[in-house]
Amino acid sequence: MQILDSQAVKEQLTMVVAIDAIERLLVLQSEHPEWVKCPERLVIPTFTASDKNSGSHLSMPSVLFDGKEEFAIVKLVTICPDNPKRNLPTTTAVVTVSNNDTGEILAFMDGVYVTQVRTAALSGIASKYLAKPDSEQVAVIGCGGMAYEQLNAVLTVCPNIKAVTLWNRSLEGANTFKSKFAEQYPQWPVTFDICEDIASAVKDADVINLATRATEGLFELSEIKADAHINAVGAYQPEMKEVSDSVIEACSHVVIDDAPGGRHEAGDLIQADSANDCDWTWDNLTGDLADLVTQKITIEHDKKGVTLFKSVGAASFDAAVALEVAQKAKLVDHYHHYKL
């Protein structure tokens, strides 16, 4: 069994690798739905009976068959809202990858980076199809741990972006993000502008990345460009909300990564659907990410309007990325043994 710590995972996992793995999964799932088994995740709220900030513990299993072999991949996640104050990641996770023929555990790996990269890769895939090809500016709203790879993903698929605006609840968080991103991702020669308010950050953005725990819409339709694309990865519980109803009901396309999971977890869309003064309902959902990748949905960029990608995550996405990491690490290990 391979034991892969965070550094070992990072050595095998790039954004291009993650995007490619998930796109292949989505095509596989469309062509052979029975080959991808992904039951609804088990979510256990934590610390609801104490005075601590409540978080959650998740168990996310998935089984993938690639036409030759079948694998079971399970991610265990703990979400700790107080961790940023401790200089620790909000989300901690581990992943196991097993071969279902023999039951052999192929890898046990740190899941924090897997989670960050797979979540971001979903935004990257959505931006690849929904954002304007000539997008030049991206706004990052919420500068926590998820925001780094989410920006990396958008820059990977939108190579014309040169300007990034930042907003965070604390100015310190935005400044930390600016310096860390420039240091950790030197391949992107972008300029950063830290904004004191959200309206300033989003007003000229072609792509808007949201990763917050907000409980009400962060901006209105009148505050953004008429053809902006939004990636919303926060608001992962029904009572949370990042995207206002005025934006949602005006979107030409609303795409979600996992439609069944979204009906229970996508706070933005759940609240829009139930609001009496909002015209958007689940019937207006354009489709899911697989529909974009397989081109069941096509976008006319010259008249696309505002587009929204809502991500709630699914175990199958983690499975595709973790399996790729395990297989790449095994090849590297075999190569080193051969050299010896």
Q: Which residue has the tokens 């979600």?
A: 256
Q: How is residue 96 written in tokens?
A: 């196991």
Q: How is residue 173 written in tokens?
A: 């968080």
Torsions phi, psi for 256 (to 5 deg): -125, 155
Q: Which region, left, alpha or beta, applies to residue 229 given φ > 0 means left and ψ of -120 to 50 means alpha? A: beta
* Closest alpha carbon to 145 in 233, 238, 250: 233
pLDDT digits (tens, 9 = 90+) for 22-63: 999 999 999 999 999 999 889 899 988 888 878 899 999 999
pLDDT digits (tens, 9 = 90+) for 63-78: 999 999 999 999 999 9
Helices (H), 244-314: 245-250, 259-265, 267-274, 289-293
Quote the CA–CA distance of 133 and 138 in Å, as a whole number.
13
- Quickly list DSSP for 115-150: HHHHHHHHHHHHHHHHS-TT--EEEEE--SHHHHHH
**How long, in residues, is the chain?**
340
Tell me the mean pLDDT in the region 167-190: 96
What pLDDT is stored for residue 333 in this prediction? 56
Mean pLDDT of the chain: 93
Confidence class for position 335, pLDDT limits 50, 70, 90: very low
Residues forming beta bridges with residue 215, ordered by sequence position = 241
Torsions phi, psi for 277 (to 5 deg): -100, 20
Residue type, 144: G
Residues forming beta bridges with residue 208, ordered by sequence position = 139, 230
Percentage of the chain surpassing pLDDT 70?
Answer: 97
Confidence class for position 113, pLDDT limits 50, 70, 90: very high
